[in-house]
Amino acid sequence: MSAPMTRDPAVAAACLVAGGLVALPTETVYGLGGNALDPRAVARIFEAKQRPFFDPLIVHLADRSWLQRVAQNVSPLALRLAEKFWPGPLTLVLPRTSAVPDLVTSGLDTVGVRVPDHPLTREVLRLADCPIAAPSANPFGRLSPTTAQHVAEQLGDRIDLILDGGACRVGVESTIVRVEGDSLILLRPGGLPIEDLAPFAVRIERPTTVEEQLPTAPGMLPQHYAPRTPVRLWKAGETWPEGRRVGQLLLSGTADPRAAACEVLSASGELVEAAAGFFEALHRLDACGLDMILATPFPERGLGVALNDRLTRAAAS
């Protein structure tokens, strides 16, 4: 039986305060929320998602003034970024306080925090009056949910409530950075284009090897964000897998006549529009009974960086 759905933030807040698990709409993707300061609620999040304990959760705040509830020694650069980009799709990894259970941070001495840009969920945060730990509301490693319906299908029988706030506006997960002095380490490209961060940091470093990424950002696992159907990266002109039922994922343009199904993300080739519909399109292709999905990489700029990151991980599964 699937969890009930509501549009009432007060009902969602009451459920969270009582230790429940609530799927919450954000501008990026739907999150699976629990009281971040209640280790039992946090443990239930890992259990529901079958998420490994080494993968830390992002903590959601109602606004900047809540930072001191979970973080300490917040640097001037981190404060400037929070002021400029919150609410919004930017997660800051900061030194944590002892109020945050180890389970939330996988034992790290840092915590990932952000203020989500969705009116219903911010109202839930204010009413519940507690920071909310919320990874994406999907089983570990699978496609992220961008509608309440996706959550119901993938996780509905394991959670207490779904707050329906419509389709997610941005459509890919937040950009995650660790702030170190006046430089930023990019841990995950996401809904805030890296170009937007450039004016704020002297240096933006991007870890290149999996070993560099692993200890601090397991969301960067090489295999992640995957539909059940195998995904392959494919460019026009490359060999077509004959005799297979193939679906295509394209930014713009038209389907190859050999494709059994095709999703075009933006007729005009706009990356913002493409990101908003990206996971939805993969969910639809995944339901078509295909042998494989051929995905054409995006231009490596703006939200295209995050989209290529998700494609590469989907293709690694």
Provide the binding-site residues for Mg ion, judged by CB under 5 A: 136
306 binds ligand AMP (CB under 6 A): no
Shortest Å distance, C-beta 31 to ligand AMP: 7
Among 57, 38, 66, 45, residue whose Cα is nearest residue 129: 66
- CA distance to 103, 193, 232, 237, 309, per residue, from 300 (Å): 35, 11, 18, 20, 10
27 binds ligand AMP (CB under 6 A): no
| Cα torsion 267, 273, 274, 279: sign | negative
Among 108, 130, 185, 226, binds ligand AMP (CB under 6 A): 108
Count of residues that bind ligand AMP according to CB under 6 A: 20
Name which of Mg ion, ligand AMP, none residue 250 binds, using a CB cut-off of 5 to 8 Å depending on partner kind.
Answer: none
Closest residue to bound ligand AMP by CB:
219
Near ligand AMP in 219-238, by CB under 6 A: 219-220
Shortest Å distance, C-beta 274 to ligand AMP: 19
CB 71 within 8 A of CB 94: yes
Take residue 299 and report the two structure tokens written for it.
């231009």
Near ligand AMP in 168-227, by CB under 6 A: 173, 176, 187-188, 216-220
Shortest Å distance, C-beta 187 to ligand AMP: 5
93 binds ligand AMP (CB under 6 A): yes
Query: Could you count the other beta carbons within 10 Å of the beta carbon of residue 53?
Result: 12
112 binds ligand AMP (CB under 6 A): yes
Query: Could you count the other beta carbons within 10 Å of the beta carbon of residue 118?
Result: 21
Closer residue to ligand AMP in complex, CB, 150/188: 188
Q: Give the chain's length.
A: 317
Give the whole-angstrom CA distance, residue 97 versus residue 173: 25
Near ligand AMP in 39-78, by CB under 6 A: 55-56, 58
Take residue 310 and report the two structure tokens written for it.
């998700």
**Cis status, amide bond into 193, omega within 30 of 0:** no
Contact residues: ligand AMP, CB under 6 A:
55-56, 58, 93, 105, 108, 110-112, 135-136, 173, 176, 187-188, 216-220
